[in-house]
Structure 1
């Protein structure tokens, strides 16, 4: 049977982050979905990590099995939280669960992180050093504000069981947000396959010049499984 693939985006972004990956997977005949995570009815400031995880789980359960769940950054943590519903898991520079969360840089988060309201093209270029100019502009137009409660909870550490399904962790070697050593330690502890992406930034596997190649590598791993 041909698997279906659900992509979960990172904080402050949307399903558009996965455009390149969706094109690669769909060209191979796989059905894909990449929903935008939505704020809770009570507003963005009161949106919780569990709100997002609930949306992710609902989106995954409507897909036919076998299901591949792919998440990047915050989406990687959400994917790990929903691992019981998946048949294979791909985590790209994931925000790590406890105890590896303690290795992340310490941050204080406002109630609403103003990534949309304070977006600048220069800061977008800085965040995407391995992307071309057109992609940086595309991302700059699409960043969104994020819930500080979601990010605070994620960075405080979420206790998770080791997933029972096949698991691939992908680690960018030039990642200032989730150091590659943290992803490698998580992969080792969870018995996952580890793929290192040379010269890639935190979001580079999705939006950088090497995004299509990273997607092809993930697709090859899925086929092997």
Structure 2
């Protein structure tokens, strides 16, 4: 039995009816799928159909999420990946393009590694097994979760100060506060423990099949000032992925932090992703 919601199924039906190339958006921790709304409008204006499934059991709104934070607990990387693969499997007309941010960027690469994506854009993606750099800022950003082992079974919300350091360090405090109030929700602690332990666990779910020749073109986007996923982490993923026979590119956006998909500079990031998708989707099976 599918775990897709009525909203998700309706989005898939609309995308199928549109007869356009489809772009699937995948959010990461501490956000909901509604964080992609402006991106979806931009891509749809450019001629795409879009869907943005949530993670399993995600509430419909930020207000509901804050009232029921416990629903986020226990969500694991493969469970979330399978949820998106279920949605993708219901699309008709060929493989979709995939755009993911943070843990959504890791999941996007897992989907591409399964051969289920036509084109993939991973933005400040969480690391997978084989990615070795562990910058100090990444450790500090994840301390809100991994600082307490009991958080592996909890939903964890960030304080504003934690959000400001890990997400909004490149922004004025006023904008950082506005983003925190508008977008931030609790998140499952499990995926962070999975990513942190990936290089010590040969059976980890935080793994990506980078050598699949059916992976398709891949763009990695890194924010220069990102504390959560610094350049070293994204570049290490690029070095693993560039061994793939498909097109593999990386770009660093100056002055941008982890909030780059939702802050006032979101359009620059979205247009970078859109250009890559449009360049390569015509050569794909979409």
Q: Decide which moves more: 123-132 or 79-88.
A: 123-132
RMSD: 2.5
Quick one: which of 140, 149, 161 aligns to 2:209? 161
CA contact (8 A) 1:131 1:207 kept: no
Contact 1:77 1:95 survives alignment (8 Å): yes
Q: Distance in 2 between matches of 1:36 and 1:137?
A: 22
- Give structure 1 stretches of 5+ with no counterpart: none
Paired with 1:43 and 1:129, the residues of 2 have a C-alpha distance of 28
Q: Are 2:226 and 1:198 aligned? A: no
TM-score with structure 2 setting the length: 0.69
1:219 corresponds to which residue? Answer: 274
Task: Check whether the contact 1:95–1:101 (CA below 8 A) recurs between aligned residues.
Answer: no
- Show structure 2 runs of 5+ residues with no match: 1-18, 59-69, 199-205, 243-247, 281-286
Q: Are residues 1:114 and 2:170 paired? A: no
Counterpart-to-counterpart distance in 2, 1:197 and 1:131: 14
Q: Out of 87-96 and 58-67, give the one that drifted further.
A: 58-67
- Candidates 26, 31, 38, aligned match of 1:20: 38
Aligned length: 220
User: Deviation per CA, 1:152-191, whole angstroms, max 9, x where unpaired?
Assistant: 1133222321152110000100011111122122113212
8 Å CA contact retained: 1:44, 1:146: yes
Q: Deviations over 1:6-28 (max 9, x none)?
A: 11001021112212211211110
Greater Rg by CA = 2
* Structure 1 length-normalised TM: 0.85
Q: Is 2:74 the counterpart of 1:46?
A: yes
